[in-house]
A and B are shown apart, each in its own frame.
Chain A
Amino acid sequence: MSMGINFIYGIMKVINWSMGEFFMIGAFVQYILLTSFLGATYWYVGVVISALIVFFLGALVQRLLIKPMFVGIIEAKMEYATIVTIAMAIFLRNLAVLIGGPYIYTPPDYAGPTQILTLPISGNRLVALIGALFLLALFYYFIKKSWTGKAFQGVAQNRSGVQTAGVNVLKYDMLAFGIGTALAGAGGALLAPIFLVHPMCGLVPTVRGFEIIVIAGLGSIPGILVAGLTLGIAESLGSAFINPSFVDIYGFILLVIILSIKPYGLFGKAEREV
């Protein structure tokens, strides 16, 4: 989720507030696939299909609703686009209520409870952890090693410079939006048995995603890993030693402390635009 938000912001300078809803769509698609077509055994196939479907949906949303603001010279286009994503979030959430009703759907487990050395752990959580690490590694490799990844870096670092070098930035915007939302969709599919599937299931991961980005600093992929772990540890320690009822508060306290010491986040840098 954090990686998707970060990526879209890096390329388009637009904060996509509807990421939670693309997460929710990924979870719903996964639920339908597992309960109606694939069965629990092929959950990983479901994750791939969910991500692909969300990719195309995200790219379509960008093409129809956001791209028009990036054609020609429009002032405050990023702000307009951000507002569109807020409207999209409300629309998709209500659409989910309309189609699926206000019910909570429970997908089958991906794996049974297991143990790492002496530590018992939920199989679903282990799958989600390994899946997230795999996606992170795949994404990192794609961005750092492929030609397309280099072009994405170029778009993120100097939009007009890369455009006059021959890169179609509008095409890359659409791809970035698709890839970013697909990451959220894959997250929704991976976490479906943990967060369960309902119209609001993307809310908590979105809040966590933004917390992690702010702690990490915009634009840093390794930072997301460190910030995610730091947030998790802060919440676990707070729950264990203070009070588990206020688990969501601990993350925000950590965020405030980090921002007061490092205003750009742990790995963020002050932006410089030419």
Chain B
Amino acid sequence: MDDQGNQLLEVKNVVKMFGGLRANDNVSIQIEKGEIRGLIGPNGSGKTTLINLITGIYDVTEGSIYYYGKRIDGVKANVIASMGIMRTFQVARVFRDMTVLENMLIPAFTQGQSGSEAKTRAEELLDFALLTRLKDKQAKSLSGGQNMLLQIVRGFMHKDLKLYVMDEPFAGVHQSIKGIIIESIKMMNQEKGVTFLVVSHEMSTVRTLCNKITVLCKGERIAEGTMEEVANVPEVIDAYLGG
């Protein structure tokens, strides 16, 4: 992959139309390697649409997306995943009729990792996430928070994970599970250099976790910077408190 300095991802003037609705309107974002970027905004501001564009679920209407300097808009979701971009969904998309361990092994399979290597890694991650005792249980028997945790650690199975895009990873999960999720993000960021783009409504968590924050409102990027910086932008105050 071409090395483009410190820049990992560049979203350039992206527009996404759903019929007459402009879900993303000329959005531009640059994310550097090793960042933990927060993506916030009121409901309906286009956060999930943006990450669906980055991860290949939707095609952009206009604009372009670059990853390591290589254009990836229009690339299929599975190819984007194989390039090292994993994601989670707001509602955990686990394989309900498979065991927790089998869920973990699916990304490894797509990369041709050997069975024993993948299993060892899966067991280490499950241990970290305190899910070991559930590894032979079917995913459908887990709670919503445990499923979210499983979905997150499953993404860490990617051998060459570079960017992890998380859509509301803390929504509706128990405080103890939230703690494990935060720890796992910090660990993968510091130890493996994984870059994160985290969509969340939990301002306190975003404040402690993210170096930089991008704010979307009505499909447009209205602010970017540290939490302290964006909190003082009049458009952000207006978006959250009403004008």
Q: Tell me the A residues contacting B by CB distance below 8 Å.
A: 72-73, 147, 150-151, 153-154, 157-158, 160-170, 272, 274
Q: Are A163 and B109 interface neighbours, CB within 8 A?
A: no
Residues of chain A within 8 A (CB-CB) of B155 are 165
Residues of chain B within 8 A (CB-CB) of A72 are 59
Of chain B, the residue at the smallest CB distance from A165 is B107
Q: Are B158 and A161 interface neighbours, CB within 8 A?
A: no
Q: State which of A151, A160, A170, A272 has its C-beta within 8 Å of the C-beta of B106.
A: A151
Q: Are A160 and B78 interface neighbours, CB within 8 A?
A: no
Q: Are B98 and A151 interface neighbours, CB within 8 A?
A: no
Interface string of B183-214 (1 = CB under 8 A from A): 00000000000000000000000000000000
Residues of chain A within 8 A (CB-CB) of B105 are 147, 150
Q: State which of A158, A166, A168, A272 has its C-beta within 8 Å of the C-beta of B107.
A: A166
Q: Is B32 an interface residue (CB 8 A)?
A: no
Cβ distance B165 to chain A, nearest Cβ, rounded Å? 9
Of chain B, the residue at the smallest CB distance from A166 is B110
Of chain B, the residue at the smallest CB distance from A159 is B93
Cβ distance B239 to chain A, nearest Cβ, rounded Å? 29
Cβ distance B204 to chain A, nearest Cβ, rounded Å? 28
Which chain B residues (101-131) contact chain A, with CB distance < 8 Å? 102, 105-107, 109-111, 115
Residues of chain B within 8 A (CB-CB) of A153 are 95, 97-98, 102
Q: Are A147 and B86 interface neighbours, CB within 8 A?
A: no
Q: State which of B57, B78, B87, B95 has its C-beta within 8 Å of the C-beta of A158.
A: B95
Q: State which of B58, B81, B94 has its C-beta within 8 Å of the C-beta of A164.
A: B81
Q: State which of B58, B96, B158 has its C-beta within 8 Å of the C-beta of A166.
A: B158
Of chain B, the residue at the smallest CB distance from A170 is B76
Q: Are A165 and B106 interface neighbours, CB within 8 A?
A: yes
Which chain B residues (49-101) contact chain A, with CB distance < 8 Å? 55, 57-59, 76-79, 81-82, 86-87, 89, 91-98
Q: How far is the CA of A118 from the CA of B59 in the complex (A)?
A: 67
Residues of chain B within 8 A (CB-CB) of A169 are 78
Q: Are A161 and B89 interface neighbours, CB within 8 A?
A: yes
Given contacts A164-B93, A168-B78, A274-B92, 19 further A-B contacts (CB under 8 A): A73-B58, A147-B105, A150-B105, A153-B102, A157-B96, A158-B94, A160-B57, A160-B77, A161-B89, A162-B106, A163-B81, A164-B77, A164-B86, A164-B87, A164-B89, A165-B81, A166-B81, A166-B158, A167-B109
Of chain A, the residue at the smallest CB distance from B83 is A166
Known: A150-B105, A165-B106, A166-B107. A160 touches B76 (CB 8 A): no
Residues of chain B within 8 A (CB-CB) of A165 are 81, 86, 106-107, 110, 154-155
